[in-house]
Amino acid sequence: MKLARLLAGLDYEGIEGDAEVEVSGLSYDSRKSGPGHLFFSLARAPERNRANIEDALSRGARAVVVRGGDAGAARPAVTIVRSERPRLLMGAAAARFFGSPSERIDLIGVTGTSGKTTSTYLLQSMFEAAGRPTGIIGTIGTFIRGRKVYSGLTTPESLDIEASLREMEREGVRVAAAEVSSIGIAEGRADHLNFRACLFTNLGRDHLDYHGTIENYFAAKLRLFAEILPRSRRSDAVAIVRGDDPYGQRILNAVSGRKVSFGFEAGLDAHPIEYAASLSGIHAIISVLGRKITIDSSLVGEPNLLNILGASAVSVALGIEPEAVEEGARRCPGAPGRMEAIAARPGVNALVDYAHKPDALEAVLRTVRKLTPGRIICVFGCGGDRDRGKRPIMGGIAARLADVPIVTSDNPRSEDPIAIIREIEDGLAEEGRSRAMDASGVGPRYYLVQPDRRAAIRLGLEIASAGDTVLIAGKGHEDYQLLGSQVIHFDDREVVREIAAELSGAKH
């Protein structure tokens, strides 16, 4: 496609050079640039910007999109496109280059603080039970017919989304469930997508290191429903919103198009009529837009019942029959690292969960409390280079809701792990907990600290008795740990299995 045609009518400041240059591909990562590419330079630091441009040109890029007046190392023979908002321009150009596949694929956007990943897995299972192959775009990766094609950002850059949707279309996939993060919305990665439906799960404290305030965080979520969804070229677009969440109510009040509410309250469009939850799963009878649906799921706890209600509401609203919803809920194993049960010692339950923010940790602990006859031993930490304000909050939550909190390291990144732990301890101390020097006789007013995550998980499993639940929270599906500049292999699920086997062997 000629550059002039690709950018015709789009928002940019000007073109310097040959506007008729042929564009063979698009890229924003200079390492993935190739001959004939239009390269979008997104870096804000001038030195990094110049280095990226030079690298892209050395790989054959023919045109470069730059912010403002700095063309960096662009050579005289190279066409320069100047744009103050290169990310938005990239989204519009990518949609045009790949033929706007979201106009033909039923794209379902899922946003909220918690439950996004599990909701996409439920949606895939329900739509595929109805015979409609469904792709997933999200935290764990982008999957097309079971094949992972991308791993990185929860909401990929617009270029990656459009390319993935085009590949889905080529492979006969006509439905895609995509996690849409607040940062992705704020950066414009979803602006040029045509959503068939958008699902809001809930809202709690998260990403305040980026957004600054909870209201700014909510404003990004709201924008998906109040601005992006109404712009969709799908005339039958629908908003599916948790109606018993205060922020969900604000979204429902702001949306003027078709909308469906869900939650525990009987007056909502999708709600449970009756249900029972245990560590073996959920049995429920739910009402969805007047249709009665029986749910038998291996997923654990009330938060997952909410995820099932939301996914069921989307499915029925988009024409999926109740029988397929039932079958989809039954066969869905859930998302990796979300309330995932791992075989540990006899009589001891071990759960690995991604809960790395206050609301999520509170929800999972409250869920586990209802299902655990014995003690809850909670192994958790907080990530470095992220919202520091949540650290004492999460310490306080563990102090109130866990019997034995064990504070450890998460992904400290560039921060000192001990300094992070101290900030978590502030919250435990405020709730009247004291640090125990060792695990012997640890009582209800104490907590333990073990900075080494593997050793902390071992400690939790060693002190557990029959009827106890060991919850390892914070990393979920992640198979790495970020320590300074190092990325080391670390998977909580693998570690639990290894330690459980060691402890079992020691007893024999």
**CA 18 to each of CA 2, 14, 72, 119: distance values in angstroms, whole numbers, following the listed order:** 10, 12, 18, 47
Q: Is the pLDDT of residue 32 over 90?
A: yes
Round to whole Å and give the CA distance between 245 and 247.
Answer: 5
Looking at the chain, the number of H-run helices and the number of E-run strands are 17, 25
Q: Is the pLDDT of residue 33 over 90?
A: yes
CA dihedral over 147, 150, 154, 160, signed as positive or negative: negative
Q: Is the pLDDT of residue 408 over 90?
A: yes
Q: Is the pLDDT of residue 361 over 90?
A: yes
Kindly report whether the global pTM for this prediction surpasses the value 0.85. yes
Round to whole Å and give the CA distance between 322 and 327.
Answer: 9
| pLDDT tens by residue, 53-63 | 999 999 999 99
Cα dihedral 492, 493, 495, 497 in deg (nearest 10): 160
| pLDDT tens by residue, 202-229 | 998 677 777 789 899 999 999 999 999 9
Round to whole Å and give the CA distance between 56 and 505.
Answer: 55
> 287 is written with which tokens?
């009402």
* Strand residues in 311-392 grouped as ranges (E): 340-342, 349-353, 376-380
Question: What is the structure's pLDDT at 331?
Answer: 97
Round to whole Å and give the CA distance between 229 and 197.
Answer: 8
- Per residue, the 3-state secondary structure of 368-382, as one string, reads HHHHCCCCEEEEECC
Question: What is the structure's pLDDT at 212?
Answer: 81
Mean pLDDT over residues 264-279, rounded? 95
Band the pLDDT of 278: cuts 50, 70, 90.
Answer: confident
Round to whole Å and give the CA distance between 313 and 270.
Answer: 6
Round to whole Å and give the CA distance between 95 and 49.
Answer: 24
Round to whole Å and give the CA distance between 133 and 125.
Answer: 9
Mean pLDDT over residues 350-367, rounded? 93
3-class secondary-structure state, position 252 = helix
Question: What is the structure's pLDDT at 443?
Answer: 82
Which homologous superfamily is 98-331 in?
Answer: Mur-like, catalytic domain (3.40.1190.10)
3-class secondary-structure state, position 199 = strand
CATH number of this structure's domain 340-507, picked from the four choices 3.90.190.20, 2.40.10.10, 3.40.720.10, 3.60.150.10: 3.90.190.20
Question: What is the structure's pLDDT at 508?
Answer: 43
| pLDDT tens by residue, 158-206 | 999 999 999 999 999 999 999 999 999 999 999 999 999 999 999 986 7
Residue 343 φ/ψ, nearest 5 degrees: -60, 125
Architecture of domain 3-92 in this structure: 3-Layer(aba) Sandwich (3.40)
Mean pLDDT over residues 62-81, rounded? 77
- Per residue, the 3-state secondary structure of 85-140, as one string, reads CHHHHHHHHHHHHCCCHHHCCEEEEEECCCCHHHHHHHHHHHHHHCCCCEEEEECC
Average pLDDT over the chain, rounded to whole? 94
DSSP 8-state symbol, 227:
I
In terms of pLDDT, which residue wins out, 430 or 359?
Answer: 430
Q: Is the pLDDT of residue 366 over 60?
A: yes
Q: What percent of the chain has pLDDT over 70?
A: 97
| pLDDT tens by residue, 116-130 | 999 999 999 999 999
> Within the chain, which residue ranges are assigned CATH 3.40.1190.10?
98-331
Q: Is the pLDDT of residue 26 over 70?
A: yes
DSSP β-bridge partners for residue 271 = 287
Q: Is the pLDDT of residue 153 over 90?
A: no
DSSP β-bridge partners for residue 446 = 434
In terms of pLDDT, which residue wins out, 248 or 50?
Answer: 248
Q: Is the pLDDT of residue 320 over 60?
A: yes
Is the separation of the CB atoms in 245 and 199 below 8 Å? no
Mean pLDDT over residues 420-444, rounded? 93
Helix axes 390-401, 417-430, angle to 10 degrees: 50
Phi-psi region of 425 (alpha: psi -120 to 50; beta: other; left: phi over 0): alpha
| pLDDT tens by residue, 451-490 | 999 999 999 999 999 999 999 999 999 999 999 999 999 9
3-class secondary-structure state, position 226 = helix
Q: Is the pLDDT of residue 73 over 70?
A: no
Question: What is the structure's pLDDT at 124?
Answer: 98
Mean pLDDT over residues 284-302, rounded? 97
Question: What is the structure's pLDDT at 41?
Answer: 94
Tell me which residue of 501, 470, 460, 457 sits closest to 349, measured CA to CA: 470
| pLDDT tens by residue, 371-395 | 999 999 999 999 999 989 999 999 9
Q: Is the pLDDT of residue 501 over 50?
A: yes
CB atoms within 10 A of CB 251: 25
Mean pLDDT over residues 144-152, rounded? 87
Strand 480-483 versus strand 376-380 pairing type: unpaired
CB atoms within 10 A of CB 358: 24
CB atoms within 10 A of CB 431: 17
